[in-house]
Amino acid sequence: MQSRTPKDSRTILTDLVLPSETNPLNNLFGGELLARMDRAASIAARRHSRRIVVTASVNHVAFNKAIPLGSVVTVEAAVSRAFKSSMEIFIDIWIEDRESGQRSKANEAIYTFVAVDETGAPVNVPALEPETELEKKRFDAALRRKQLSLVLAGKMKPQDATELKALFVE
Ligand X SMILES: CC(C)(COP(=O)(O)OP(=O)(O)OC[C@H]1O[C@@H](n2cnc3c(N)ncnc32)[C@H](O)[C@@H]1OP(=O)(O)O)[C@@H](O)C(=O)NCCC(=O)NCCS
Task: Note the residues at the interface with ligand X (CB under 6 A).
Answer: 54-57, 83-86, 112, 114, 116, 120, 122, 146, 149-150, 153, 155
Query: What is the distance between the alpha carbons of residues 169 and 65, in angstroms, rounded to a whole number?
Result: 33
Using the minimum distance from each CB to ligand X, give the nearer residue, 67 or 110.
Answer: 110
Q: Which residue is nearest to ligand X (CB)?
A: 83
φ, ψ of residue 107 in degrees (nearest 5) = -155, 170
Residue 104 Cβ vs ligand X, minimum distance, rounded to whole Å: 30
Residue 45 Cβ vs ligand X, minimum distance, rounded to whole Å: 11
Using the minimum distance from each CB to ligand X, give the nearer residue, 22 or 86.
Answer: 86
Residue 140 Cβ vs ligand X, minimum distance, rounded to whole Å: 17
Residue 125 Cβ vs ligand X, minimum distance, rounded to whole Å: 8
Using the minimum distance from each CB to ligand X, give the nearer residue, 74 or 146.
Answer: 146
- How far, in Å, are 31, 111, 145, 146 from residue 88 at the CA level? 20, 6, 9, 8
| 8 contact partners, CB below 8 Å, separation of at least 6 | 47, 48
Using the minimum distance from each CB to ligand X, give the nearer residue, 78 or 150.
Answer: 150
- The dihedral over CA atoms of 65, 33, 61, 149, expressed in degrees to the nearest 10, equals 180
